[in-house]
Structure 1
């Protein structure tokens, strides 16, 4: 046949990108040559989004927009983990040498740190598969047909061909024109320049004529073949040279079936068996992800190929190699599968002219429930004293971002200071999970105590925040994890006596955090120990407490001039119910080595005082008394005297202060032992005041009953006042005394409620003096 005229077209030269070209990092871009196209695959983690491509040739740089891609033979395929650019060997800006060597040049533009960076990509391909007389490509966004320049004349001419010949012969111009056919309608011819404006491309290579059109053009025909949608475009190129007409008939037909799925877990695609005339059974080759295999191999891999009613149906298991799984969030987490599928059909017409049809499709299944739903499994072993929760099994494209534990936010990755640990667990089946561990003694754990069952109910309310990559779409999984702790006994202290006080030691047990340790009504803390003068150390092994003698918390009895008993008690309470569970009480014998004063909770003052300066020269402590001269010492020696008496007798006075009450008495030499005939001096050099102070907030029945009750012991003091000739106080000195830090101050007592205690016993004319401060 006559040689073909080169069909060129004018391209717009666009400006060079301002971004500087850089070298592509290793491993992020993969380029491959296939039978009929060249592909660039770019890792999505490198691009941070969808990159942009420019086609480059000696005439300039051409941005590949969606419209330009469909016109010029490029296809952009965004996948879950990478982006593909496919380029036909006959694409617009490819350097074609005799249809055997194809050179591609592209710029890839990505955005890094808000700046566009361009990378040069180029490659050369030489197809190993020879070209058939007619090749048809049904891509995702365009149809392309190419025919060999020299073919034998057909044995017959169809009616439509004669009509086209008639139109071509009647043409008055020798320029090449194109005429489209649509059903029974024959459209008017148009020039190639007009066709180019409508995004039709005609091109002549070294040995082939190429025609390409996007889908959905107005000259395309949509029809159905046995319920399978088909799009077809029929174009005739012609040129009249004197009495000779040159004419080429080009037809592109593609199945537009989008794919479906069946109940067996297959994705299904259909196409008519004979989109082009064929004498023999169609030869089929199937490809997934760029790998083409023959029909027998496809059958071995589980593909199901069926032909009936002139339709080829191919069913592919969703688990097939080459498919891509993707997670999707709607109201819950689902999955779907995408297959980069192509089918090669080889047909021969009655003239033994071969047609090779390549159909590319992205087949996608509907949203499917996960085979194994996301669950949080309670793997807690109470003996290990920590919650252990496994979240899984998660697909590869799902990541854990954060966990709320009973409202406490924990983000990934966890810090080194966190008491929680989250470990990623990877499985061979391309799934993974997370193991969360929370110690039982962490404050975030919620406890409930059942008195009936004597067990602790421990609860974790978990809200997992998960995201689907790469779009970072989030969803949430809620779970409540409960475990029960049984056979729980309160901790037991060891107690020891020493000369300076009483010591306690507790070896820590795993469940010690379930209990609250207190001294009296106050929880035992480092702050309390500092305020009360205790010596405390608490580490991971043990708790040790030393309560020095005369610090708050002691109870005293059997006090004599020689010694006394001191008792200290540590209480163990249920942390949730505050109920007393156990106590450790230790009583030790101590020597009376100096003065002391005890203000008991039941309203009794016990005093051991040095009276060497409080008796006249020649006097003895045994002859001293309180204000009521009938209240003498219980015991005495040469310098010391022991007094023990109720607060409301023996002439005690009461002073009401702001939030406290003070009971006061005085030890003095009893004047009944002094007369003019004795050599004893009437007055001693010192007055000795003894007093007990209680906080009003801790007192009960202070003025309304005979009985005295206090939550805590009072703070006692022995006050010495030097005498002068005028018997006027000149200085005050406080000696060592037993003191208990009073509780917080209570409200001031109204005057109308104040009245003195009636005396418990007849001690002469003793009275209670009431003073308001």
Structure 2
């Protein structure tokens, strides 16, 4: 092992300080937190607008964090609509962070929000890692790889002798007093380049008080893809060297990350894999410990087990299995002809390994897993009780992010909520499993209900075709659910009460909803007011307030 030191200088484009007004941030819309290995900012999209932007600030100027700049400088920016916020993660070794002794890190950012015209908000935070730095640490972020090593363990411990001898020979014959870097790719050694040239290609090297940091975006020309135990892995192998007189100083750095995109099995598990050993240079690592987390925070093992997270090792591969609807994930409804759902899980994984020299390597991985589109059927249940003379239909399993907008009843449209004057009602029913339902009630004798008399059953049949219009929030994307229900009511012939009076016989017929289907006659003649007058009959009809059709009939003869 050897200690070394050097100074790196980079020509950075100096941006003019923003002239926008620095406004105050409302309470509750911004969250800043220091994590073990990074600083995190989360801001509500309702506050920032849909296209928020960040700028890094230091004493030299203001630097817009574009997609490319973020990957090079140690920032990861994600708009997370399911959570309703935008998130910035900044490595403790990111470009514009003030670093004191690898123990105190100060961040300064601007947030450019566009919710109601563009406004700029300043943010700053000082963090100290809660865990001591391991001799070697690798971070696999969403958009970049970063490796940092303690200076006194920068020498290689697992490089093959032939590879190392070849690298030394190349370094000795081409090295100058300035630091250079040589990339190795699939047993092919590329021509060395100085650090300024490497920076132009998107690579960042930095020396802190006690650590050497190397960072690279994914998909660089000097990286290479391989498979380890059937798992795709991206690797960047960089060798730094400098010659001082007859002494050559060399540092071997490897950033390697699993690029497995995740899978979904028939049992409802999201799965992700990574090799225990990602590169031959790290082949001396053993006694791997795996910690699993979600949304950037690790879980205690009992909590992970309670949620159903499973960590298994098979033939040198670590496999994680997570129930698709486990706590810690996010669910979203989606419409494509019908209603579907998918689940998103922001995985945070840590592998801690030890080599033969008892040197720790800590690998941390951020990955986003998502299920395919899964059917999410809603259902209807006919809960009608005929004796109540009212349809009662329940629409159930409606997800939280779906709402009922309208109902078509036999082709007649009614928006939700119904008006107070309507004779039909709809009631929302909330359930503890993050779903809800709606109970629709429509009287049999409502004008929208189709009626048909069945001579065979001597019954009145009622039919209601229901077309529910539901919308997925917040996009307001509509989809439709159809149900048809039928019921019947007894329509037996009406029965008269006969009362003998001194002046004659009194017949009484009380109103029933469907008595209008029957004709009353005297002999073969239909009973009408004219017939009653002709035969000197006294005929009365009374209309009860509760009756919609028919009447109570009183007749005297």
> TM-score, length-normalised on structure 2?
0.84
Q: Given the superposition, is the C-alpha separation of residues 401 and 253 from structure 1 closer, same or farther in structure 2, using an over 3 Å criterion? A: same
Change in 2 beyond 3 A, CA 1:48/1:376: farther
Identify if the C-alpha distance between structure 1 residues 483 and 366 changes in structure 2 by more than 3 Å, giving closer, same or farther: same
Match of 1:310 in 2: 316
Aligned partner of 2:144 in structure 1 is 142
1:567-646 equivalent positions in 2, closer than 5 A: 584=553
Contact 1:490 1:581 in 2 (8 A): no
SS of equivalent residue, structure 1 residue 380: coil
Tell me the distance in 2 between the aligned counterparts of 1:433 and 1:49.
Answer: 31
Identify the residue that residue 526 of structure 2 maps to in structure 1.
Answer: none
**Structure 2 Cα separation of the partners of residues 405 and 351 of structure 1:** 76
Matches within 5 A, 1:250-649: 250-275=253-278, 276-293=282-299, 298-299=304-305, 301-370=307-376, 373-487=377-491, 511=513, 515=516, 556=533, 584=553
Distance 2:31 2:242 in 1: 44
Q: Tell me, in whole angstroms, the C-alpha distance in 2 between the residues paired with 1:204 and 1:452.
A: 93
Q: CA RMSD of the aligned region, Å?
A: 3.6
Contact 1:7 1:203 in 2 (8 A): no
The answer on whether the counterparts of 1:399 and 1:467 sit within 8 Å (CA) in structure 2 is yes
- Look up the SS of the partner of 2:299 in the other structure: strand
With over 3 angstroms needed to count, the CA separation of the structure-2 counterparts of 1:305 and 1:197, relative to structure 1, is same
Instruction: Please say if residues 222 and 236 of structure 2, whose CA atoms lie closer than 8 Å, have aligned partners that are also in contact.
Output: yes
How far is 1:356 from its partner? Answer: 0.7
Counterparts of 1:458 and 1:14, CA distance in 2: 75
Q: CA–CA distance in 2 between the matches of 1:220 and 1:424? A: 56
- 1:48-92 CA deviation, whole Å, 9 max, x = no partner? 635333333333333333222222222233251333322222222
Determine the structure 2 residue equivalent to 1:178.
181
Unmatched tracts of structure 1, length 5 or more: 495-504, 519-551, 559-564, 573-579, 589-773
Matched, 1:64 2:58: no
Task: Assess, with a 3 A threshold, how the Cα gap between structure 1 residues 94 and 417 changes in structure 2: closer, same or farther.
Answer: farther
From 195, 200, 203, the counterpart of 1:200: 203
Give the aligned partner of residue 505 of structure 2: none
Evaluate the alpha carbon distance shift between residue 462 and residue 85 of structure 1 in structure 2; reply closer, same or farther with a 3 A threshold: farther
The 3-state SS of whatever aligns with 2:341 is: strand
The 1:9–1:477 alpha-carbon spacing in structure 2 relative to 1, beyond 3 Å, is farther
8 Å Cα contact 2:493-2:518 kept in structure 1: no
Q: Which residue of structure 2 aligns with residue 100 of structure 1?
A: 103
Partner residue, 1:30 = 31
Structure 1 485/24 Cα, relative in aligned 2: closer, same or farther at 3 Å?
same
Task: Check 1:33–1:471 CA distance in 2 against 1; reply closer, same or farther (3 A cut).
Answer: farther
* Whole-angstrom CA distance in 1 between matches of 2:237 and 2:157: 20
SS in 2 for 1:274: coil
Superposition map of 1:696-735 within 5 A: none
Kindly indicate whether the alpha-carbon contact (under 8 Å) linking 2:23 and 2:121 is maintained by their aligned counterparts in 1: yes
Note closer, same or farther for the CA distance 1:106–1:437 as it changes in structure 2 (3 Å cut).
Answer: farther
Structure with bigger RCO (C-alpha 8 Å, 6+ apart)? 2
Q: 1:228: which partner in 2? A: 231
Indicate yes or no: 2:93 matched with 1:90. Answer: yes
C-alpha distance in 1 between matches for 2:178 and 2:369: 43
Q: TM-score, normalised by structure 1?
A: 0.62
Distance 2:389 2:20 in 1: 62
Structure 2 SS opposite 1:282 = strand
Residues 553 and 568 of structure 1 are in contact (CA less than 8 Å); yes or no, is this contact kept in structure 2?
no
Partner of 2:53: 52
